[in-house]
Amino acid sequence: MMTPMRYVLIVLGIIVGLHYILSFTHEDYGKATSVSRLTDYISGPNPPYREGVPDQYYKPAEPAYTPDRKANATFVMLVRNSDLPGIMSSMKQIEDRFNRKFNYPYVFLNDQPFTEEFKKHISALTNAPVEFGLIPQDHWVQPSSIDETRASAAREDMVKNNVIYGGSVPYRNMCRFNSGFFYRQELLQKYKYYWRVEPDVKFFCDVDYDPFLLMQDQQKVYGFTVSLYEYPTTIPTLWDNVKAFIKSNPDFVPADNAMAFLSDDKGESYNRCHFWSNFEIGDMDFWRGEAYSKFFDHLDDQGGFYYERWGDAPVHSIGAALFAKKDQIHFFNDIGYRHEPFQHCPQGEAHTKGKCWCDPGQNFDYEWYSCLNKYDQLFR
């Protein structure tokens, strides 16, 4: 019989061996993608973000700086009480890198009441206004219109097929809420722009300009830092429903939209590219508008958030790409960001101007699973 100590030694040996192998694999892969990234950056399309942020938006680095104007904007954080350590880490970075100078407010949302301990620790991290909101139950829980027998069978099938979050109802609730309800919350009605922040993320660079004002002045509606492909098993019928909506509502789709980011065959099929929505800077009035509101209601009626596992990332991305003009979607190249396991590390002048502390070689932008090249191609 194997002794406990022998078992521990064997497990440690396996872990060390895997780490050794993966370190060499990652090193070689990083070199390959660095060459690819450099080639793509020098030649090919010239998307607007390559011109950088105009100097007029940059502000002095002194903490005592007082902005001469601000946008109507807030941070939005959907968290549980148990997320306190992770969201404190994210919020502290937001304060240190940006908000200690610009002093934008925070709105925290939860499907359960926030504890006094949570409120105390969060409020101590900032001088900006902080509000805590309770999500109405009908905005969060699985609707009564969903056939639970069918939904349960779908979850069981996804679990058997190892689909990520395939068996989770709370995850589906979260995806549906972020897709169509967060911007309807009472505490957010007074705001136009939002910056979504999640627990345990990293912000690598000083942001010495106001992204909200950039969005406002340049009439942007959606900003991202990472884009990638969605898991096909989570959205088998999503695009069919999107096409049905477009066919019924062609007037909602401007000619100069970003369909080419979503589809390689002019809309016949979905290439699964989406903006990773755990980081978003966006215009809530765009989500509140007629086109996206009707689009979400159409998707919600199909039940795909529960019969499949539609995520808010593809839903937001499809909505932004279809109903906005392509130049209203902005890649925040200068905001260094990591949400496990992917990160965007600014390159070139954007890296030095932002005083970034990430390794430029560790950058997801042009790796094989990234969709940034699809975004770049919009501006060829």
Active site amino acids: 280
d(Cα 354, Cα 377) in Å, to the nearest integer?
A: 26
The DSSP bridge pattern shows strands 202-203 and 342-344 to be: unpaired
At 273 the three-state DSSP class reads: strand
Chain mean position to CA 183: 15
From the list 315, 376, 29, 40, the residue with the least C-alpha distance to 175 is 315
Buried b (16+ CB within 10 A) or exposed e, 365-377: bbbeebbbebbbe
d(Cα 64, Cα 101) in Å, to the nearest integer?
A: 7
Kindly state the DSSP code that residue 104 receives in the 8-state scheme: -
List the helix and strand counts (H, then E) for the chain: 16, 12
User: How does DSSP assign 288-311, residue by residue?
Assistant: HSHHHHHHHHHHHHHTHHHHS---
- Residue 137's alpha-carbon distances to 70, 78, 113, in angstroms, are 33, 15, 12
The DSSP bridge pattern shows strands 222-224 and 106-110 to be: unpaired
Tokens of 64: 């005592």
Q: State yes or no: cis peptide before 341, omega within 30 of 0.
A: yes
The length of the chain in residues reads 380
User: What's the half-sphere exposure (Cβ side, CA atoms, 13 Å) at 375?
Assistant: 32
Tokens of 268: 């016949």
d(Cα 136, Cα 307) in Å, to the nearest integer?
A: 23
